[in-house]
Amino acid sequence: MSLVQSAPIQVLFALLPDSLALDWAGPAEALRIANQALQIQGQPPRFVLRFVGPGSETVSSVGLKLSGLAALPDTLPAPAWVVLVGQPGATISVQTEAAQALLHWLRGLRLQTHRLELMTVCAGAVLAAHAGLLAGRHVTTHHHHLAELRSVEPDCQVVENRVFVEDAPVYSSAGVTTGVDLTLHRIAQLCGEPIAAQVAQAMVVALRRGPQDPELSPFLAYRNHLHPALHRVQDAVSSQPAAEWHLASMAMVACTSPRHLTRLFMEHAGIAPLQYLRRIRLALAQTALQSGRNVTQAAALAGFSSDTQLRRAWHQLGEAGTPSNPKSL
């Protein structure tokens, strides 16, 4: 994508009563920091943040009173983004006066790639569906609202177990912190990877989640999915990597069969369960070696049955050097 400078993007966060604070504050901070990084480099800011709503005041999900909201504009400047966020609750109520006013305004939008775009965070996608903006689109939302989204807009393609989905000019994220992931992704596309990396570092985002992002640690890798059973297994293995894990015991944690667990791992994590276990154990062994433990001690701490098993895993997983040579770590 071209990084040629153009007019600043007007980013309109449309806030209803009880809007989830992190859904809008996280992306807003990411955009603010991006502007700051651009200005340090002598470039003009790229994003103009605006907070709009049916009323001039509202109360966030955590009880913070927000004032000074601008009215929903009759016309939108170009280019512009409209950001819709989630609310607490099992379903999203659209019967309130404020919600009806927002939906009426949304129905008047005409989405055009690179001129007017829609970004949804969490159940903000359900609001977009009620406004008729998602027909024919591939979208995602928080896993608690997947069925609701399908019910409200049967003509959209709901994508499960994804951090965010791009179907320009619609960009949807699964919820809460994933709004930051999507915003960082868009910053990288529009301002360049170096700026996005600076924003991520400033926000202490250890792992930028997305299909093109590098894997930084085996304890964070292979988790770019939202499958609860796999997360349970990965949490259990990561918390006790030296336990006597085997495929059957991992499957018990997931409440599924060993064969089905393998299918789930390959489909959603892109790695086999036992290979994932070996990578976690190898990372633990490397940490032990770096702290001064010998190979035998590191193997035992990480859950390998012997030095030989550690050395075998070391070479099978493509690590340079040998476990006994700490300079190769």
Give residue 176's pLDDT.
Answer: 77
166-to-55, 132, 230, 287 alpha-carbon distances in Å: 30, 18, 24, 37
Cα 105 from chain centroid (whole Å): 28
Q: In this predicted structure, what is the pLDDT of residue 225?
A: 80
Q: What is the pLDDT of residue 32?
A: 98
User: Which residues are within 8 A (CB) of 216 and not within 5 positions of it... i.e. 6 or more apart?
Assistant: 206, 207
pLDDT at 216: 42
Task: Give the per-residue pLDDT at 22.
Answer: 94
Distance CA 34, CA 43 (A): 11
- Whole-prediction pTM: 0.66
pLDDT of amino acid 133: 97
Max Cα-Cα span within the chain: 70
Residue-wise pLDDT tens digits, 115-141: 999 999 999 999 999 999 999 999 999
pLDDT value, residue 210: 53
Domains of the chain by range and CATH? Answer: 9-202 (3.40.50.880), 228-328 (1.10.10.60)
Per-run averaged pLDDT (10 residues), the chain, 329 residues: 68 97 96 96 95 96 95 93 95 96 95 86 97 96 94 95 90 89 91 82 66 47 83 86 94 96 94 93 84 87 91 86 66
- Rg (C-alpha) for the chain, rounded Å, is 23
